[in-house]
Structure 1
Amino acid sequence: MAINNIKEHDLKAEFLDILRNRKVVTYYQPIVSLKDAEIIGYEALSRGPNYSPLHYPNELFGYAKKLNKVWELDLLCRLTAIEKAKEIIGEKYLFINIDSAIVKDPDFKQGFTKEYLAQWGLEPKHIIFEITEHTAIADYKSFKEILENYRGQGYRVAVDDAGEGYAGLRMLAEIRPNFIKIDMGLIRDIDKDMLKRELLKSFQQFSKTTGIKLIGEGIETYDELKTLMEIGIEYGQGYFFQRPQPNMVPLDLKVLNVLHSINDIIRANKEAKEYIRVGDISRLDAPMEYSCHCNEAHQLFSEKYNLQGIVVVKQEEIVGLVMRNKFYLQMLKRTDGAEFLNEPITSAMDPYPLVVDQDSNIQEVSRRAIAREENSVYDYIVVAENNRYKAVTSVAYLLDTLNNIEVE
């Protein structure tokens, strides 16, 4: 029944009945480890009774605000969620949504005493305060002091809907949460959106640096899940795993199989990249002896348009590298080009090219290649066998191989 069609008197009576007779219903949605398919905890989601015009949270809390009863409703929802959470075992967490404004309220403290939690077999370490990014925090200093007091007792903090609100960066910096829940707007169709993927990669790097755990919210499709797992996001939540349920139930076997299957694919891809040797993706270009002159390099470049570099050797020992673009740049700078062409090739070469052993894995080689100075990033990579010239490979081919390895 639409709330707009209910008389104000009846709506108020309905709300007060819910409050007086503790009629809120708690649903739970699991938060899943994407690495091992284990449920790490559940988010508690409070609703009004079924078939009530105040069933959905927006209507229920919206009307509570209208009657200035947010404190009472929040306490009821929290206590109901905790009472039902006795089913949580081991180290699983209970994520409870809170408004930043109520943290300092005495009713809030009453609902989170150690004694009260102990009645239901819970400890502070089981509780995660989930603060939405939509929430405006007027006094960060006081709010941080209150949160630190709770942290000192063993509670943890999560920031919800990160990436959606305007004040999110300051909230993250000030609160320093244990968990960040990435807004579902950034998750939706991430497999088709390069910008979202790059943004999530930045979040992931931030997570690795700070130790703050990331939870992708609102995951609905296989491709969204696979993309997040490939990026390295550690935890997930959404309809793909399970819709909110009145009780805490395990994941369906099909979901478990999907998670294990994707992890197998990612592992296989990683192993494939680790074990491909640079020697396997290199080609044997004829080298040039160090006794040659620049005119011979010019002739070779003229005959082979696609040749971008020439390795210079001394009886198979690598002594340098001549790249086409740098060779002709030097030639242009000379007032007498003919004189330049008569000079020894050693005068035009880079005596310190990147040289790697043929058994080096391509991931390590790629890191070394892109770590070079900017004017040398795209120079050939020289491949050696027992410290003697073996072959060359290009940065483009190296990166293309890394990006296109697929394990069916």
Structure 2
Amino acid sequence: MIVLIDDEAAELRRIMAEGLLYPVFQPILDFRVRAILGYEALIRGPEDSPLHRPDQLFSVAARNDLTLDLEHACREASLRAFAAQRLPGRLFLNVTPGCLLDERLMNGHTRELLNELAIAPNRIVIELTENQKITDMPGILEALQHYRGRGFQFAIDDLGEGFANLRMWSELRPEFVKIDKHFINGIADDRIKFHFARAMQDLAEICNALLVAEGVERTEDFICVRDMGIACGQGYFIARPETHPIRQLAGQTVTALDQQSLLLSPLTGGPGKLPTARNLARLIEPVPMNASNVTVIARFEADPDLDVLPVVQGTQPVGMINRHSMIDRFARPFRKELFGRKSCELFMDHAPLVVDQYATIQELAMMLSVAPKHYLFDGFIVTAQGKYIGVGSSHDLMATITEMQISAARYANPLTQLPGNVPINEHVDRMLESGHPFIAAYIDIDNFKPYNDAFGYRRGDDVIHTLARLICEATDPQIDFVGHIGGDDFFVIFRSEDWELRCWQIISTFAQAMGNMLGVEERLRGGYMAENRRGELSFQALPTLSIGAVKVGPGDCESHREVAAAASAAKKQAKKRAKNPANEPLGGSLFVERRRIGSTDALQPVGRFLN
């Protein structure tokens, strides 16, 4: 849209000169810890001006060679408003790649402004937009190295909107990547969008970047994005951009978050025993933000075991003070006289790691693994509905994880290291309690004992190892659960919509793998000669798979015992079909229980065999 103004360049210069630009801030939610990660600053012109909207502002700037001037003015307005409101967390600043080479960024002006506003560079995320083509990639890379060396982080915007930002991702290696809202709006109902986002997530894990889902506007999309494991979300469902944005999550967001996702490997010691941040919270009496530095020093001197002090404004945590950093600063000449009576806000970390009490141990561990190193020493602040309740330490977190891993190893299958009977039962019970529908699939190897007897247990173990690998490759590690009951029996809890296709994939790839384990003659004959149980030499068919699958809906079962019994019955039906000489299966059988568990309908077979 072209804005018609008598002298548009003069109007834009007037707006910048008179400081009439102002930002609105939109919160970015960190799903992992149920807290606001930071805010994206979005610029606005005067409401009564034709240049109110950002697209109008930047269109006029581009036509009049004022883009760098406008970006500089936007950056300063956003930083000053962010500091004036004392907003917590990180600030995401939109910057075009060419602006990184602006001498006003390179000559230290921004660093001086940050010092004036008491904003640490590690709280700033420079969000690169794809509004202009990069013509000097070596120069941009050199600029990124310069800024990263001073603590700044980077994000790229609108991933998926074009090929250029895919190149930016590979070249610039940003800490944050924002998925374009096109792929998020309706993702809960659109398999194509879901798989596109999943592919982006796989890339993010390889590149050690955090994904931010933009344009989250519906409850269903919010829950889908969270359950996919995407780190952060942004959109109207969480909060709209405001000049004075929310500091605590709104009711609808909290309600959606309370619909807890189901972890596949919770490392629990029993149902309902999954530790959370609340279990690690230790109450340390906080200091108010207006407390003096002398007061803080006195607290540390009075308690030698006190390593950190949380800082609050009312009941809301706003910072963290590290003991060693504080004492080291005040050990220098005249520091106590100069700063002793000033507010402790001067020396606190304005962006501490703040987590909700329901954040799981696994989420905390993942968060700390990619966080700046000082979080490992400072720990994290725990909140309940945005209010301070205590401080957790990394030491206690590591101790808890170690204890959980030891407990999990106790219940893992020793051959495949997959979850054994206890974690399988726990996961089924969690699924039943959640009310989520799922498919329980019992996988068994047919003709395994003769093969094991004929070729030895080492070759038999190879078959079981191979099947375990093929099952894991065919399932979605984000939502499907794979367990090893024991021997040649496996149990899978599917939540993937294409679970039936995945079952056939397991059957097919296992048949191919078994053929490759024997010679050409055995493969051509579909078996081998070996002694049977009576000691007679006879033909033995190659091991194949029988899979019995049961659909479990809300209210169908009360416990894992009912699910296990139903899946076992379906597996027996699959094995009966496989033994029918008329069928002569070459690969295996899949039998699906089509009736509701507990009904009197006849069993319904599916597909029947892979020939």
Q: What does residue 126 of structure 2 align with?
A: 129
The 1:382/1:266 distance shift into structure 2, 3 A limit, reads: closer
Once the 2 structures are TM-superposed, how far is the Cα of residue 101 of structure 1 from its aligned partner?
Answer: 1.1
- Say whether residues 1:252 and 2:250 are aligned partners: yes
Q: What does residue 380 of structure 1 align with?
A: 545
Report if the CA contact (8 A) 1:61-1:70 is conserved: yes
Report if the CA contact (8 A) 2:442-2:492 is conserved: no
In 2, the alpha carbon distance for the partners of 1:252 and 1:278 equals 31
Which amino acid in the other structure matches residue 491 of structure 2? I
- Say whether residues 1:275 and 2:424 are aligned partners: yes
> Where in structure 1 are there 5+ consecutive unaligned residues?
285-308, 313-317, 322-345, 384-389, 402-408
In 2, the alpha carbon distance for the partners of 1:145 and 1:213 equals 23
Once the 2 structures are TM-superposed, how far is the Cα of residue 78 of structure 1 from its aligned partner?
Answer: 0.4
- Say whether residues 1:51 and 2:51 are aligned partners: no
Q: What does residue 450 of structure 2 align with?
A: 319
| SS of structure 2 residue aligned to 1:173 | helix
Q: Aligned runs of 1:224-373 on 2, under 5 Å?
A: 224-250=221-247, 251-261=249-259, 264-267=260-263, 274-276=423-425, 282=442, 310-311=446-447, 318-320=449-451, 352=460, 354=464, 357-358=485-486, 362-363=491-492, 373=510
In 1, the alpha carbon distance for the partners of 2:219 and 2:186 equals 10
Give CA-to-partner distance per residue, 1:94-118, whole Å, 9 cap, x none: 1000111111111233575333202
Which residue of 14, 18, 22 maps to 2:15?
18
Report if the CA contact (8 A) 1:134-1:165 is conserved: no
The 1:310/1:162 distance shift into structure 2, 3 A limit, reads: closer
Q: What does residue 148 of structure 1 align with?
A: 145
- Say whether residues 1:8 and 2:18 are aligned partners: no
In 1, the alpha carbon distance for the partners of 2:589 and 2:132 equals 47
| SS of structure 2 residue aligned to 1:177 | coil
Report if the CA contact (8 A) 1:32-1:236 is conserved: yes
- Say whether residues 1:205 and 2:354 are aligned partners: no
TM-score of the superposition, structure 2-length normalised?
0.48
In 2, the alpha carbon distance for the partners of 1:198 and 1:98 equals 29
Which amino acid in the other structure matches residue 250 of structure 2? D
CA RMSD of aligned residues (A): 4.1
Which amino acid in the other structure matches residue 262 of structure 2? I
Once the 2 structures are TM-superposed, how far is the Cα of residue 278 of structure 1 from its aligned partner?
Answer: 12
| SS of structure 1 residue aligned to 2:258 | helix
Once the 2 structures are TM-superposed, how far is the Cα of residue 267 of structure 1 from its aligned partner?
Answer: 4.2
Give CA-to-partner distance per residue, 1:254-279, whole Å, 9 cap, x none: 21221222xx1434997999524999
In 2, the alpha carbon distance for the partners of 1:364 and 1:243 equals 38
The 1:268/1:372 distance shift into structure 2, 3 A limit, reads: closer
Give CA-to-partner distance per residue, 1:5-47, whole Å, 9 cap, x none: x4423x4443232011010011000110122320001001011
In 1, the alpha carbon distance for the partners of 2:66 and 2:26 equals 26
Give CA-to-partner distance per residue, 1:330-364, whole Å, 9 cap, x none: xxxxxxxxxxxxxxxx89xxx84548545977359
Report if the CA contact (8 A) 2:443-2:490 is conserved: no
- Say whether residues 1:106 and 2:243 are aligned partners: no
Report if the CA contact (8 A) 1:277-1:361 is conserved: no
The 1:371/1:212 distance shift into structure 2, 3 A limit, reads: farther
The 1:114/1:15 distance shift into structure 2, 3 A limit, reads: closer
Once the 2 structures are TM-superposed, how far is the Cα of residue 224 of structure 1 from its aligned partner?
Answer: 1.3
In 2, the alpha carbon distance for the partners of 1:36 and 1:239 equals 20
Give CA-to-partner distance per residue, 1:193-239, whole Å, 9 cap, x none: 21211121122122222211100011111111122112111101011
Q: What does residue 28 of structure 1 align with?
A: 25
| SS of structure 1 residue aligned to 2:192 | helix
TM-score of the superposition, structure 1-length normalised?
0.70
Report if the CA contact (8 A) 2:443-2:547 is conserved: no
In 1, the alpha carbon distance for the partners of 2:174 and 2:145 equals 11
Report if the CA contact (8 A) 2:545-2:589 is conserved: no
In 2, the alpha carbon distance for the partners of 1:400 and 1:376 equals 27
Report if the CA contact (8 A) 1:34-1:229 is conserved: yes
Report if the CA contact (8 A) 2:26-2:240 is conserved: yes
The 1:47/1:396 distance shift into structure 2, 3 A limit, reads: farther
Q: What does residue 306 of structure 1 align with?
A: none
Report if the CA contact (8 A) 1:275-1:361 is conserved: no
Report if the CA contact (8 A) 1:276-1:362 is conserved: no
- The sequence identity of aligned pairs, in percent, is 26
